[in-house]
Amino acid sequence: MTTTCHLPVLDMGADDYVYEMTDYEGARARWCPGCGDHSILTAVQRLLAAEQLTPENTVFVSGIGCSSRFPHYLKTYGFHGIHGRALPVATGVRLNRPDLTVFVVMGDGDCTSIGAGHWIHALRYNLDMVVMLLDNGIYGLTKQQTSPTTPQGFPSNTQPRGSWLPALNPLQVALGVTNASFVAQTAEWAPAHLYATLRAARQHRGLSFVRILQRCPVYSSALFLKAVQNPDNIGMLVHDDGVVVPELARLYANQIAHDPHDLDAARRMAGVTDRLNLGVFYRDDSRPRYEETRRVPPRTAAERVALIEAELDRYAV
């Protein structure tokens, strides 16, 4: 695992400094040309600038996968961890440093396969952070193996005759977890909706789980082709407490009024199979947040060293 810290060189004494998108640009992104991750990265940089989040107080945590290179491409603090363990790391950061803004970036394998147990309990803990699932329905980094979200019948190197099982639906899973407080879905090919959804997630108090449908141009370019080519195959869930993007109304005619406070309706919308529904499925700001019940008291550097030494002394021979 690696930690990254590529903070911009700025005059931090200037209280009136306004951050621009360029202030958050890290190393050049090395994703394949046409990868949906590029669109998501741009939307995130736009969000950081809009929210004026200071780089030294912002953390991106990831696991393993193409999407998990995210922290390297931002001038914030970053933790590039091990496979499936982004959420435990982010939980530790959030509990010990509640002053930091925490984002988590995972792929479909990282989140819904090896990290599934952590995913379920993170939803239940409802810590205040934004969790992004970049879902392209395939294992891209390891070169085209079936993932839990691969559609049934879709071929891969591990199942060349097509995935045997029906795909796992991350929305239905998230909406079935006790204490889940924010569940949304958006797509990288609808950048205005992507940005609006991420901003709504950022402004929610609690764990915001956002599934981002994302095309892999090498291994799963056909996965969302019908929705991309024909906007009638997409339903836009609209509500004042959800996401409303007026400029998209002409392109996406299926504008569906949906109250995100209605959990039963959210579950029904998540189970629709004849179209892709985008928007905020569910939100409840009143759900208890784990950091408010399991608060770690602030400690000075000297106090932290003393605690570590006391712990090590327990194992002295």
At position 185, the amino acid (one-letter code) is Q
Are the C-beta atoms of residues 26 and 73 closer than 8 Å to each other? Answer: yes
pLDDT for the residue numbered 14: 53
Give the C-alpha separation, 82 to 254, whole Å.
40
pLDDT for the residue numbered 129: 97
Are the C-beta atoms of residues 240 and 216 closer than 8 Å to each other? Answer: no
The vertex-174 CA angle with 129 and 296, nearest 5°, equals: 35
At position 280, the amino acid (one-letter code) is V
Tell me the C-alpha to C-alpha distance, in Å, between residue 76 and each of 28, 60, 311: 14, 7, 31
In three-state secondary structure terms, 56 is: helix
pLDDT for the residue numbered 257: 96
User: Which two three-digit tokens encode residue 247?
Assistant: 């400029």
Percentage of residues of the chain with pLDDT beyond 70:
94
User: Which two three-digit tokens encode residue 203?
Assistant: 């402004």
The vertex-48 CA angle with 44 and 54, nearest 5°, equals: 140
pLDDT for the residue numbered 8: 47
Contact residues for 202 (Cβ-Cβ < 8 A; gap 6+): 47, 51, 130, 208
Contact residues for 266 (Cβ-Cβ < 8 A; gap 6+): 175, 183, 258, 260, 281, 282
pLDDT for the residue numbered 4: 54
pLDDT for the residue numbered 43: 97
Domains identified in the chain and CATH numbers: 2-313 (3.40.50.970)
pLDDT digits (tens, 9 = 90+) for 261-317: 999 999 999 999 999 999 999 999 999 999 888 766 777 889 989 989 999 999 887
Q: Which of 5-9, 94-98, 124-128 has the lowest mean pLDDT?
A: 5-9
